[in-house]
Amino acid sequence: MQTSIDAAARVLARANMAVALTGAGISVESGIPPFRGKGGLWERFDPMTYAHIDAFRRHPEKVWTVLLKVLSDTLGKARPNAAHRGLAEMERRGCLQAVITQNVDGLHQDAGSREVIEFHGSMASHHCMDCHQAAPSATIDLADLPPRCDCGGVLRPDIVFFGEAIPTAALQRSAQFARMCDAILVVGTSATVEPAATLPRIAKQHGASVIEVNPEPTYLTTLSDFSLMGAAGAIVSRLVTALDAHL
């Protein structure tokens, strides 16, 4: 494993442009459950019933009560782990230009990463379904669900529900990074949800090296140049240490 980590670190150090694509797995060690696999949210809740925009429109109180309140409480307690801090350190050393994250927990920014593309939006802010007035999370009261705007409209988080489009700017910038990068570090994603799962394929087609960090094989593993099997915290920390020899 160490030889693979050293070789992957050399690729990252030599890359003119390296980006990371992260998924729920990078935040598992911060206490946030993944969506799929052991302990996954979708093992307990049906995503089409609780995470689809049509379901939210029909039953906002149910979606808030069952999913969004749990998510808000969990995210409120979560802190960045060694993997988030490691990616921020790579950016500081100039060997990671951006993090494209599918996560809505804001932990990359909390760890110090500056170029973060939130592909599925963020729980950090909300807006009204009627008047579209923005509402920062800290200002909304979750005692009564669903939370409502002063106009009476239902408040929703600025996340991308199933059935919604990825924000145009996030989609375009992520695709551009995927086309232009020499290396993409894929950490903690099952690579099952499009269009995020296509980004490593685009990078590969444009000549980039794909480095995967995951304790399990995924749909990307056969595509990857380096498959670093293990938990994100330990593997990313070892990558950062191995970079010392190449920078």
Q: Which two tokens stand for residue 72?
A: 């808000």
Minimal distance, residue 180 CB to ligand APR, in Å: 23
Residue 134's beta-bridge partner residues?
Answer: 127
Site string for ligand APR, 161-200 (x = CB under 6 A): ---------------------------xxx-xx-------
Q: Please say whether the beta carbons of 214 and 62 come within 8 A.
A: no
Let me know: does 177 contact 185? Beta carbons within 8 Å.
no
Residues assigned a catalytic role? 120
Q: How far is CA 144 from CA 83, 141, 210, 216, 224, in A?
A: 36, 7, 46, 40, 47
Question: Binding marks (x or -) toward ligand APR, 37..56, rule CB under 6 A?
Answer: x--x------x---------
Q: Which of residues 83-102 bind ligand APR (CB under 6 A)?
A: 102
Structure tokens at 179: 């086309």
218 counts as binding ligand APR under rule CB under 6 A: yes
129 and 153 Cβ atoms separated by less than 8 Å: yes
State the sign of the Cα–Cα–Cα–Cα dihedral 157, 62, 146, 80. negative
Residues 105-144: x where in contact with ligand APR by CB under 6 A, - otherwise, as a string: ---------------x------------------------
Sites of contact with ligand APR (CB under 6 A): 23-26, 28-29, 34-37, 40, 47, 102, 120, 188-190, 192-193, 213-216, 218, 231-232
